[in-house]
Structures are given as C-alpha cells and as structure tokens.
A and B are shown apart, each in its own frame.
Chain A
Amino acid sequence: EPEVTQTPSHQVTQMGQEVILRCVPISNHLYFYWYRQILGQKVEFLVSFYNNEISEKSEIFDDQFSVERPDGSNFTLKIRSTKLEDSAMYFCASRGNGAGWRNEQFFGPGTRLTVL
C-alpha cells in the first residue's frame, strides 16, 4: 500500500537555526499539506499546497515558514529561524484528485522537531 514518508523522524536543533523537514507524498497525489502537533495538544493545520503554490495557510504559518516542491517527489517545510515554541511533531499529508467532497488525506509518520 502506498504511503507518505517523512525524514528525519527526529530533528534536534538550536534556537535560531534553520531546519528543513522532508516529505515524499504518495506518487499520484496532487494536494499536499503540513500540520503540526505540539505535545499533548491537537493537530493544527499549517498550509496546503496545490499546483506548485500555496492554496491556504493558517496564522501559524508566518514568514518564518515556507514550503517547496523542489522536484517531482519531495515536499519540504522550511523553518528559517526556529524558536522554542516550534518544538512539535510535524505531519505531512497528501490527497489524491478525487472528485466531489471526498477529502481523505494520508498522513506521514511525522518528524519530531525539538528546538533547544
């Protein structure tokens, strides 16, 4: 069964450093998403991406964040200057091009980001 993969599984960084979280969505999917989950809290939407551009972003997704699809397979989330409060699990998700209102998203296993 196809799945979304994410690397690394755990990233430790110093405050102020840049990090890039990588995702490989399911190969024939066209819609891509990033979510985050702070430990013990709910899953929060960050950004959606389609046709090589951002479709929608949340208030969390400020100028420190950016996304890119550098090639035909990878989808990355960059945090330019990490803050302590960026420590969270980051999930990538992808969705196919199903018609109508079906919106099953397939989530990756997550990258745990720890900012020291």
Chain B
Amino acid sequence: LAKTTQPISMDSYEGQEVNITCSHNNIATNDYITWYQQFPSQGPRFIIQGYKTKVTNEVASLFIPADRKSSTLSLPRVSLSDTAVYYCLVTGSNNLFFGTGTRLTVIP
C-alpha cells in the first residue's frame, strides 16, 4: 500500500485557488489516485480520480506528473463551504485506506 504524505492543514481566503499536494513516492503501476472531501460529522465524498496527466471535473482539477510520485488537487475560487478535510488516497484495489488528510480552512 503506497504511503501518502500531505500537509496537515492549510488556510486560504475566499475566492482564491487552493492547491493541495500529496506525495506518494511508492505508487505502484496499478495504483490510481483519488481525492475525497469530508465535512465534520459527515461521510467522505468523492471529488476526483486520476491515473496520470490532468483530470478536471466540475469541482476540481487533479494534476499528476509523469513520474506519478505526487499529485496536486486544485480547487478554483474556494468559498467558505469548502472548509473540510481533503484526503489523498492511492490504491490499486477498491478498498479505501485513508490517511490523516489536509484540513483546509477558508477564511472570509
């Protein structure tokens, strides 16, 4: 299981773009990278998933360099409601193993 490392916490002002980087040096060929979001007292919620290069959906973008040893979740123009914990997961199976995540606080 590839270990992931991401910042414990980040602060950002409303309206700014936020980039959260995750390191996963031991990622395996079969692994893919998935990001989840969790609000207090709620279950995690899928944000985005990728294998390589760039993936974009209506919520976020995910940038994965060619060596796949890291990934960056980009949240455009965050709002107060984006305050949450963001988890980077690397797995080749369908079972999810969460780390401690990055606690993002959006400041007015």
Name A's B-contacting residues (CB within 8 A). Answer: 4, 31, 33, 35, 42-45, 48, 56, 89, 91, 93, 95, 101-110, 112
Q: Enumerate B18-55 residues with CB–CB distance to A below 8 Å.
A: 30, 32, 34, 38, 41-46, 49, 51
Write the residues of chain B forming the contact surface with A, with a CB cutoff of 8 angstroms: 30, 32, 34, 38, 41-46, 49, 51, 87, 91-101
* Count: A-B pairs, CB below 8 Å: 59
Interface of B is mostly: loop
- A35, A89, A109, A112: the one contacting B96 at CB < 8 Å is A35
Chain A, Cβ-Cβ closest to B43: A107
Most chain-A Cβ atoms within 10 A of its Cβ — which of B43, B87, B95, B99? B43
Q: Check A109–B42 contact: CB distance below 8 A.
A: yes
Report whether A107 and B45 are in contact in the complex, using a CB–CB cutoff of 8 Å: yes
**8 extra A-B contacts, CB within 8 A, seeds A42-B100, A103-B91:** A4-B43, A31-B94, A35-B98, A42-B99, A42-B101, A45-B97, A45-B98, A56-B95
Is the Cβ of B46 less than 8 Å from the Cβ of A91? no
